[in-house]
Structure 1
Amino acid sequence: MTDTAAVRPEVDADIARELAIAAARRLLENRAENPDVGGKALKDLGDQGAQEVLAARLAELAPGDAVLSEEAADSDARLGADRVWIIDPLDGTREYSEGRDDWAVHIALVVKGELSLGAVALGGPDEVLVSSELDGHAPAQEGRIRIAVSRSRAPELVQSVSASLDAELVPMGSAGVKICSVVRGEADAYVHGGGQYEWDSAAPVAVARAAGLHTARLDGSELVYNQPNPYLPDLVVCRPELRDEVMTSIRAALASQADGKEHGVR
């Protein structure tokens, strides 16, 4: 592995941004070059094309680093590596295949076990949020709390939290877009409990942390990356002033779900 593991933040930020831009550009090219392709075929084209770009660029720019990608075979070698890139070449395949722009490219870097950097390209190469370039998040807006949620039916947990907080649900695409919507002031929180992997959240969580947002698992524990099993099924991201209120609502919703299961309620 590289022997400059902790002393190249500016170089790594440039690499992360370049990777995100290159993959996002390829994704737009793939969609433009295949106007008659849609659905799963376009999703697969997007995943494959973006993965090829990222693999080639990482081999060139960070040849000694380990990689964990949604679209590549995993290796235990990353567990002993000082530097591990965690990437999602295309987060939000459904949105991408439908011609929407609420998809993202995720590029994260874990250094010596700590999530140190994240870059997220939002819907193309022109808007990329890089954690090292942020010094805050958008100001709060007046009105009800807004919770970013899947475009399909909101999970029971999110519905319970929303009811408790009298919150407005704001539908949007990929996990990266939802997390970054809190950074950008388009939502106040994102609560997820339906199953994800490290590549779904690593980069946008790094961005959210750098912006000063609260990030955690639903039980309040820290989100930890580059684990032997990359399954990381739940998270919450919210404005810091809402942390106690949101976490209290989540605990109550989880307790209610557990009580319902214990008593056979479905």
Structure 2
Amino acid sequence: MTLSTAPGSDAALLTLALRLAREASDLINAIRAKGFVTSTKSDRSPVTEADQQAEKHILAGLRAEAPHIPVIAEEEVAAGIHVKGGHEYWLVDPLDGTREFAAGRDDFTVNIGLVRDGRAVLGAMALPAYGQFYAGGVGLGAVRYDAEGEHPIHVRTAPKDGLAVLASRHHGDDPALAKFLDGRPIASLGNIGSAVKFVRVAEGVADLYPRLGPTMEWDTAAPQAIVEAAGGHVTLLDGSGPLRYGKDGWKNPFFVCVGDIGA
């Protein structure tokens, strides 16, 4: 992926988001190494110093370098700071998978997505524990960066022996999941946390991620942009259309993320 620095271009905005995701990843890894305390927010979800410091850094960068684009971020919303989105805005989850992070597991991410007219159009993600970074957008393709360099990514055609399915670690035994998968050829079913599941579909490691539990728009904007740039789809559960943005309370309906699984 060749990312331009032409001011205001989508490629320049994606370059900015990717840089900030990388820097937030470094902050999170440093906090993880020194130790941290986990607190509980008013909605009973966990929060750590890593969430707070990563968000502070990302917000400062986005607001300094793209001041014309509003930013909606998870921890600010939790603190009662409400920003209007308009037709274009950033959605930021500074540490998606805080439960995983706090439990010492590796499946947590940094998500920075750009929404335009209700559609997730650009996304940058970091997987701090894996040293992997992803970027993608409309007309730009999708790429993974890691210690070995830059790798264009694309969803795979589903294998004939069945689908590799990923489900939430916290909703993996939901009877609704078994009902949704009934009748589909399934080769494997894994349960992991956070938005990692999206990028595993985007890079052709998995084929299907049905989400039958609650999520917020900042959880999904960046990964949806990457999946779609890689040739996949993130749709409403009934397939009636893509997952869209700007909903009341920033709450998502159930959805499904798919690679090339055919009809």
Q: So what's the TM-score if we normalise by structure 2?
A: 0.80
Contact kept, 8 Å, 1:22 with 1:125, in 2: the verdict is: no
Q: CA shift at 1:105, angstroms?
A: 0.6
Q: CA shift at 1:58, angstroms?
A: 1.5
Q: Structure 1 or 2: larger strand share? A: 2
2 CA distance for matches of 1:22 and 1:156?
39
Letter in 2 for 1:197: M
Pick the structure with greater CA Rg: 1
Superposed, which structure 2 residues align to 1:180-191 within 5 Å?
180-191=199-210
Aligned residues: 233
For residues 106-138 of structure 1, the C-alpha deviation after alignment (integer angstroms, 9 at most, x for no partner) is 100113443210111123583111013426515
Partner of 1:86: 91
Identity in percent: 31
Q: CA shift at 1:166, angstroms?
A: 4.0
Q: Structure 1 or 2: larger helix share? A: 1
Gap change, CA 1:136 and 1:44, over 3 Å in 2: closer
Contact kept, 8 Å, 2:234 with 2:258, in 1: the verdict is: yes
2 CA distance for matches of 1:125 and 1:26?
14
Of residues 198-207 and 152-161 in structure 1, the stretch that sits farther from structure 2 once superposed is: 152-161
Q: CA shift at 1:70, angstroms?
A: 1.1
2 CA distance for matches of 1:124 and 1:171?
17
Q: In structure 2, which of residues 166, 178, 186 is the aligned counterpart of residue 148 of structure 1?
A: 166
Partner of 1:170: 190
2:113 is equivalent to residue 108 of structure 1: yes
Letter in 1 for 2:181: S
For residues 79-110 of structure 1, the C-alpha deviation after alignment (integer angstroms, 9 at most, x for no partner) is x3x43000100101111112222111110011
Q: In structure 2, which of residues 82, 91, 101 is the aligned counterpart of residue 75 of structure 1?
A: 82
Q: CA shift at 1:219, angstroms?
A: 2.3
2:244 is equivalent to residue 224 of structure 1: yes
Contact kept, 8 Å, 2:207 with 2:259, in 1: the verdict is: yes
Q: CA shift at 1:149, angstroms?
A: 1.0
Contact kept, 8 Å, 1:136 with 1:210, in 2: the verdict is: no
2:22 is equivalent to residue 21 of structure 1: yes
Q: In structure 1, which of residues 117, 123, 127 is the aligned counterpart of residue 132 of structure 2?
A: 127
Q: In structure 2, which of residues 50, 55, 58 is the aligned counterpart of residue 51 of structure 1?
A: 55
Structural RMSD (CA): 2.3
Q: List runs of 5+ in structure 2 lacking aligned partners.
A: 1-6, 41-45, 143-151
SS in 1 for 2:261: helix
For residues 218-243 of structure 1, the C-alpha deviation after alignment (integer angstroms, 9 at most, x for no partner) is 1222211133431103110112333x
2 CA distance for matches of 1:186 and 1:136?
10
Q: List runs of 5+ in structure 1 lacking aligned partners.
A: 1-5, 245-266
Contact kept, 8 Å, 2:155 with 2:259, in 1: the verdict is: no
Letter in 1 for 2:163: I
SS in 1 for 2:183: helix
Letter in 1 for 2:132: E
